[in-house]
Amino acid sequence: MSNLSMEQWGEPIGPEVMVHSTSQQAVEQLAGEIAAGIRKRTRQGGRYVLGLATGSTPIPLYEELVRLHREEGLSFEKVTTFNLDEYYGLSPESEQSYHHFMQKHLFSKVDIAPERIHIPDGMVPRNEVERYCAEYEEAITQAGGIDLQILGIGRTGHIGFNEPPSDDSTRTRLVTLDPVTRQDAASDFGGLDFVPKEAITMGIATILEARTAVLLAWGERKQEIVSRSLASSPSSSIPASFLNLHQDAAYLLDEAAAPEFQPA
């Protein structure tokens, strides 16, 4: 594993950049850290609050967490979760919904209490969305804030569904999806016409309040946006670049997604 800091790009501070040979090695490291955090908090009698992402990137991480549950006794009983986002207009039963995704890849396979799972509701009536989003933020605060937020990155530079331009004042809200993001989701929906046009997402401000944030990216397809985000000063044109402001953020990458750099 190589471990880089933004100083190597000439910037003062920035996220840690951890590059593993494979995504499997990367997720094993992160799952180990999450497991240690859960166990420590559980021993202290508290609850660990995990911020979750969906999409193809975190699937191997969820597989590893399930393995730790099954083979190494990791319990999720004292874990509270908040998902980043959900498509607007999709019911939890819809196969493309992030509710369905989370049940399939993680929740149905571990001992988490259903009442401690939070995923934005894509079916909230439009005139109640604002109140609903404020309540989602309040629920995060009431839970004590997010200990560790898992993130993927979209080719537009989005984290959650904070498409450009989204700045660091944004909170949980209804957003319009970028055409590139909808195109990337088209195969999951059986065609572009079926991809929802909107979503409810945590905001950049919400994400930056997590005590730790870890952005995962695998494969050549993500290399360009990862490089641009790391090299950019925080800018609403690359929403992920706001992570560069965070005191405890990391990019966890495989070699194919890593920016080209000169090892120190």
Shortest Cβ distance from residue 22 to ligand F6R (Å)? 16
The yes or no reply on residue 57 touching ligand F6R (CB under 6 A) is: yes
Q: Which stretch binds ligand F6R (CB under 6 A): 1-9, 35-43, 52-60, 226-234?
A: 52-60
The yes or no reply on residue 225 touching ligand F6R (CB under 6 A) is: no
Q: How far apart are CA 262 and CA 264, in angstroms?
A: 6
* Token couple for 165: 């331009």
The yes or no reply on residue 18 touching ligand F6R (CB under 6 A) is: no
Shortest Cβ distance from residue 40 to ligand F6R (Å)? 26
Of 14, 15, 51, 55, the residue at the interface with ligand F6R (CB under 6 A) is 55
The yes or no reply on residue 54 touching ligand F6R (CB under 6 A) is: yes
Asked whether 172 and 131 are in contact (CB, 8 A), the reply is no
When the beta carbons of 78 and 87 are compared against ligand F6R, the nearer one is 87
The yes or no reply on residue 85 touching ligand F6R (CB under 6 A) is: yes
Asked whether 159 and 215 are in contact (CB, 8 A), the reply is yes
Binding mask 140-179 for ligand F6R (x = CB under 6 A): ------------xxx---xxxx------------------
Q: E strands of 84-211, at which residues?
A: 85-87, 117-118, 148-151, 173-176, 198-201
| Closest residue to bound ligand F6R by CB | 152
Burial 202-235 (b: 16+ CB within 10 A, else e): bbbbbbbbbbbbbbbbbeeebbebbbbbbbbebb
Q: Which residues contact 258 (CB under 8 A, 6 or more apart)?
A: 17, 19, 223, 226
Q: Which stretch binds ligand F6R (CB under 6 A): 14-22, 49-57, 60-68, 141-149?
A: 49-57
Asked whether 220 and 256 are in contact (CB, 8 A), the reply is yes
Shortest Cβ distance from residue 162 to ligand F6R (Å)? 8
Binding stretches for ligand F6R (CB under 6 A) = 53-57, 84-85, 152-154, 158-161
